[in-house]
Copies of this chain bind each other. A is one copy, B any other.
Amino acid sequence: MSNHIVESTPATDSAEITNPAFDVARRWQLPPIERGKSSFDCAQLRKVLDGDQREVREKVMEIIAQFERFQGTNIEDYRAKVLQWTEQAAAKGIGRTFMLRSLGGEEDLPKFIAAFETFAYFDINLLVKLGVQFGLFAGSIQRLGTAPHHQKYLVNAVEAKLLGCFAMTEIGHGSNVQGIQTEAVYEPESDCFVINSPTYDSGKNYIGGAARDARLATVFAQLKVADKQYGVHAFLVPIRDEKGNACFGVTLQDNGLKMGLNGVDNGRIWFRSVRIPRTEMLDRFGRVSPGGEYNSPISSQNARFFAMIGTLVSGRISVAAAANCVAKSALTIAVRYAARRRQFGSPNREVLLLDYPAHQRRLIPFLANVYASHFAIAALVQENENDPNSKAVETSAAAIKIFSTQNCTFTIQECREACGGEGYIAANRFSALRADSEIFTTFEGDNTVLLQLVAKNLLSALKDKLQDMPPAGRAQFFLQQKLAEMLRKHPAYTFNLTYDHLVQTRYQLALIRIRETANLSRCARKLRSLLKSGKLEPFAAFVHLQLELMELARAHTSRLILERFASSLEKVGEPSLKRILKRLCDLYALHEIERNRGWFLENGLISAIKSRAVSHAVDRLCRDLRADVVHLVDAFGIPDGVLAAPIAV
């Protein structure tokens, strides 16, 4: 909505009309952003952040520079615009980045993720639409299907000529995917699968693309062959014809107005006896022969389910990366505003917001988190390349998705409040950033559920590890306990309150690791005793331990991110860059320790005076980083035209 101006211009005094004080059509006359001198070269830092993916990021920046941000409030217009952008992005080859080389793609997932996340700087609706079309729809065909599906659909899908959706979640079952109720029954007479939604609650829900654009859906359903259940599998089901009408037997419903993402057409889908040819089952992990015989490369139904679901891992990495870009936008806006806005103090020169300790403390730790998240995600993308589908990567992806999306939500909130009334004006972008990214903590795995996934994976990895070890090795494993003893008793640790000691990565890691191991062994012990006693079934035991498991997952995440951040630093050669990144890494680590100081104190791992010293070190780091903070957001490299918030450009 453009501003509606009611202006009374007296005809008597034309000289005064030109008084700039009343030229309200001008952009807000904010003073310049006070950048000062930085301790490092901003362009060099940007290079470090961009890593191998500078080129594709710039390509996406060029694409979005051509787009004009949607300003209206009409939802159908917004959806049409987002679709148009999607087609334009597809035409520029964004979808080809991850597609199989055999079909002319680049098969380069890291490149796709870098491209994807960059769209988050422009419009999260477009990001999500691209995520649905490329990551979920085309991605599911590529990963769950086999050559015939690839040949038949992939090229059109990545060119956005065939629009699709990913129909997994149901009204009654979101997090519990194994509990979905949509059925796919093999019918030998017709050599077809019959897709059915047996109940209202088994309707697919929140399906991006279902309300307006999607023609074909990857539908997850319980496979039944000759009255035998084979668990969840994926099927390609046409839902709309060329004219946009629902296909025979398909009922579509618009999810209506949402908190955000109103440019994405989420909807519900029900199926009534919809027949699809047998060959339209995505059959990489399980197939049915024309005679009605089921076979799968994975014999256990549970393992098969997790193999299929494992393909969600790259989606989680992508969401983590996108969320971090959203947080970068929010911080860029809030930090720059704080570097130009003055309030209180001498009437001639009031104090810059950024010079208030409270303002430093509210923004700078989030900046450290965003840098930490950035390097953790970059490492994760690489780990996923080296060892795709591994349990370890699944665990890390879940952990980092939780951290990045939650940090995104908190960052936007703090940034909005830090900009006061200006933060509430839609033109300054927090409104859309927040409303559109809000669902990140829920979709691609609800964070609460993912925390438990992380903890369970850690417990089962521990079990495997201990089983494979000779008894002597097991003792070795508990060496961490010795570390705890050292932290508790060694004078070099307990009595050392100096800043230089606190900023030793080795010390920070020791504390943060011990929190994880202590929680891990505690959970393992409690779980074993609950199960041994026979009082509780495994599910009930996990519910009983839910709070402890979540604490374990959080401790794991802290450690994971600090390790990745710290080891990324080691690869940075330029001393001034290394210094500034080390400070951010210290702030991330010490702020994590401060936030959890209750736990460290309770467990005698830090003393009362040391705990206070940690807080003072956090204060000091915020103060020390203040001079560089504008340059640190500049290094994200968001062009002014893309950032576009009037208070920040």
Contacts and interface: CB of A to CB of B under 8 A. Distances in A.
Nearest to A4: B254
The dominant DSSP class at the A interface is mixed
Contact of A255 (B21, B425, B434): B425
Interface of A: 1-8, 10, 16, 19-24, 26, 28-29, 73-75, 169, 171, 173-176, 179, 197-203, 205-206, 211, 245-260, 268, 270, 272, 343-347, 350-351, 355-358, 361-362, 409, 413, 416-417, 420-421, 423-427, 430-431, 434-435, 438-439, 441-443, 446-448, 539, 543-544, 546-547, 550, 594, 597-598, 601-604, 608-609, 611-612, 619
B550 A358 contact: yes
Nearest to A244: B6
A206 B426 contact: no
Contacts of A258: 424-426, 431
Given A251-B24, A256-B426, A416 B435 contact: no
Nearest 6 CB-CB pairings of A with B: A259-B431, A8-B246, A257-B426, A601-B601, A4-B254, A597-B598
Given A8-B250, A73-B257, A597-B601, 10 more contacts: A5-B254, A6-B252, A10-B249, A29-B201, A173-B343, A258-B424, A259-B423, A259-B424, A260-B424, A357-B546
A323 to B, nearest CB: 14
Contacts of A260: 424, 431
A402 to B, nearest CB: 12
Contact of A169 (B171, B201, B356, B421): B421
A251 to B, nearest CB: 5
B619 A547 contact: yes
B547 A19 contact: no
Contacts of A612: 602
A176 to B, nearest CB: 5
A91 B446 CA distance: 48
B442 A417 contact: yes
Contacts of A4: 211, 254, 256
B347 A198 contact: no
Nearest to A547: B357
Nearest to A210: B6
Contact of A356 (B358, B417, B543, B603): B543
A411 B255 CA distance: 25
A7 B546 contact: no
A59 B4 CA distance: 37
Nearest to A604: B608
B421 A439 contact: yes
A26 to B, nearest CB: 8
A7 B268 CA distance: 11
A132 to B, nearest CB: 15
Contacts of A603: 608
Contacts of A351: 543
Contact of A424 (B203, B417, B424, B442): B442
